[in-house]
Amino acid sequence: QVQLVESGGGLVQAGDSLRLSCAASGRTFSSHTMGWFRQTPGKEREFVAAISRGGGSTVYADSVKGRFTISRDNTKNTVYLQMNSLKPEDTAVYYCGGKLYYSLSYNSQDYDYWGQGTQVTVSS
């Protein structure tokens, strides 16, 4: 199984940028679809973005299109989430997940393993 560790969260002001990183252990990382999800207290885990195995295809939630960019570097076993023009409503714990099946998915139930999460707080 692949282990994931997220980092890069923090406290920022509206309009600022952050880059989250998700470091993976395991030699099969490049064969897995990866995704970013976020969760706030009392709510279900929400899809943010996903990226294909080679990084050539991406999909985003409507709420972050044009502001967030997901990318990956398979030589470093790392997936990134560049977050620009942050809004207070982006405040959440952000989780990195991986799925064994190749297809992109916005359903958290399709993902097979997760990191521990990193907190992003955007103040107004």
Closest CA to 53 of 95, 19, 98, 23: 98
Residue-wise over 2-22: b if at least 16 C-beta within 10 A, else e? bebebebbeebeeeeebebbb
Q: Which two structure tokens, joined as six digits, stand for 113?
A: 């393993």
- The structure tokens listed for 18 are 């952050």
Q: pLDDT tens for the chain, 124 residues: list them.
A: 689 999 999 999 999 999 999 999 877 788 899 999 999 999 999 999 999 999 999 999 999 999 999 999 999 999 999 999 999 999 999 999 999 887 888 999 999 999 999 999 999 9
Strand partners, 120: 10, 92
